[in-house]
Amino acid sequence: MLILTTTDRPGWRNDETSMKSAARRGGGTAGAMTAAIALSGCGNDGGGGGGSPSTSPNSLTGFVPGDGAITQPIEASGAFGNLSGDGSLTYSAVVGDDGAGLDSVGLMIDAQTGEITGEFTGMDGAEITVTALGDADAVRGTATVTIQRSDPPKLSDTPLRDRIATAGTQIAPIGVESAFEDTDVDDTLRFEATVRNDGAALSTIGLEIDAETGEITGEITSEENVTITVTATDGSGQSVTDDFVVTVVAAGAAPPNRTEVIGEEIDPIDLNGLFPASGGETPNLVVTFDRSDSGLTFDASTSRITGTLAGAGDVTVSVTDGGASPVAFVISAVEAGGPPMVTAQAPSNPMVLTTGVELASPIDVRTGFADPDGNGTLTFSVSGLDGTGLTFEDGEISGTFTGDRDAEIRVVAGDGLSSVAHILRITANTAPAATDGAPGTLILTTGATWIPRYRQSGSTPGSNVSK
């Protein structure tokens, strides 16, 4: 589908709702796509038919997918939208300087609506001249539709990275544009985002994305971690997506531990809202680093930690508002280009689970690993779940624990070249259930001697036996 888009044109509709995701992470697809036509140029000088010449742009450039499939019409009539005069317009079109018919490139035009349909078969592109006719077939104007084949957008070398946000506070703006690229000249990307957890709109968690700039802003309302899927769509409607995780912390709780690569700029750590405001004023945070050569700094005006991680060794960050007890978290430092590694975010051991009780929240094993290469290609496998009643799907362990003994669950993360494992040690809490032989209510008389009596297991009430 090709969608006409323009600016400064009264009455023109930019059909943003047609820009839908068509490919998942890792690449686009070329079939059943949408394409945008950008209008440019000046007004045509056609006249006659009892009306004024059009002041609409008379030049359209459109991008089509590699297979040329146009699933919805090219609305060439849009170039003549503000022609005036009595009677309806009719349209005709030819290709190239020699005036060949549209069928020579696999297309056709509806004379009444001006809609161009078909499957473009030209090698590289084509220039189509569209003529609008008024009453008595008087020429009212012409427009040139330039068709170009489009390569799908792709992920850049700077993939989206996970973020931290405090529930109920404004997040630091998240720019996603740099994670995508489009090699087509004059083609532009538009962005949309959804909550991958349930496919809901970003607005359901208090956030929004600017379709043109790709900047995500807002006050996050979710109290749980969320995975956000961002889709970049080019002018032909071909799309590519990438995901990132927003870890949501409660006000006053320590941000989660994290892993950063030595020599690389860290994602800003936003501490805004970490402590509740007092008297309507934002508290003054005091941040200290246990390693002075970490290369990190805290900007009190923005409440953000930034910088390029330097030197070897983990960094412990302590945060307080001057009154409350400090909270601390660890930034693990890793060398670039190394194999996968277990990070400080890995679930702690042992993990106590009660038999017959469902996990309060899934165990996300992905947060416990990092790939210093930063290419986001870690894959995960889990063993040792047999007999536990738990399941593993999409990087999370969930379910109702049914085990009656301790267990070890092995989680392996690999990047295709090497792998690393982390063991989750489960301690089974199998509290015994009460039986018929369990003691009931005791009634004791003041000053009297109590003689213990025990009812034999399986006996009936009243058949107690003294011991």
Q: Hey, which CATH number is domain 2-149, 1.10.8.590, 1.10.3720.10, 2.40.128.20, 2.60.40.10?
A: 2.60.40.10
Q: Mind listing the pLDDT tens digit for each residue in 186-209?
A: 668 899 999 976 778 999 999 999
20 band by pLDDT with thresholds 50, 70 and 90: very low
Dmax over CA atoms of the chain, in Å, equals: 120
For the chain, the straight-line distance linking the first and the last C-alpha, in angstroms and rounded, comes to 88
pLDDT for 369 equals 87
Indicate if the pLDDT at residue 443 is higher than 80. Answer: no
Q: Does domain 341-429 have CATH number 2.60.40.10?
A: yes
Percent of the chain residues topping a pLDDT of 70: 71
How far apart CA 34 and CA 227 sit, in angstroms, is 26
pLDDT at 416: 66
Averaged pLDDT for residues 154-183: 84
Instruction: Give the CATH fold of the 258-334 domain.
Output: Immunoglobulin-like (2.60.40)
Report pLDDT for 347: 79
Q: 154-249 and 341-429 share one CATH topology?
A: yes
CA distance 247 to 271: 13
Q: What is the number of other CB atoms lying within 10 angstroms of the CB of residue 132? A: 26
Q: What are phi and psi of 71, to 5 degrees?
A: -85, -20
Q: Where are the alpha helices (DSSP H) in 245-354?
A: none
Assign 94 a pLDDT band (cuts: 50, 70, 90): very high
**What is the Cα–Cα distance from 58 to 88, expressed in whole angstroms?**
19
DSSP-based three-state secondary structure for 265: strand
Q: Please report which confidence band the pLDDT of residue 442 belongs to, taking 50, 70 and 90 as the band edges.
A: low
SS3 37: strand
pTM here is: 0.49
CATH 2.60.40.10 fits 154-249, yes or no: yes
**Phi, psi angle pair for 248, to nearest 5°:** -100, 125
Kindly tell me the burial class for residue 118, based on how many C-beta atoms sit within 10 Å of its own C-beta (0-12, 13-18, 19 or more): middle
Task: Report the pLDDT value the prediction gives residue 250, as an integer from 0 to 100.
Answer: 81
CA angle, residues 40, 42, 47, in degrees to nearest 5: 130
Amino acid 40: pLDDT: 31
What integer pLDDT is reported at residue 210 of this predicted model?
96
How many Å is the Cα radius of gyration of the chain?
A: 33
Rounded to 5 degrees, what are φ and ψ at 50?
Answer: 85, 5
What is residue 59's predicted lDDT score, i.e. its pLDDT?
A: 65
In tens, the pLDDT along 291-339 reads 999 999 999 888 889 999 998 889 999 998 877 678 899 998 887 777 7
Q: Would you state the structure tokens that stand for residue 271, as one six-digit string?
A: 């501490």
Q: From its phi and psi, is residue 11 left (phi > 0), alpha (psi between -120 and 50) or beta?
A: left
Among 79-83, 367-371, 435-439, the range with the most confident prediction by mean pLDDT is 367-371
In the predicted model, what is the mean pLDDT of the chain?
Answer: 74
pLDDT: which is higher, 18 or 179: 179
Domain range list for the chain:
2-149, 154-249, 258-334, 341-429
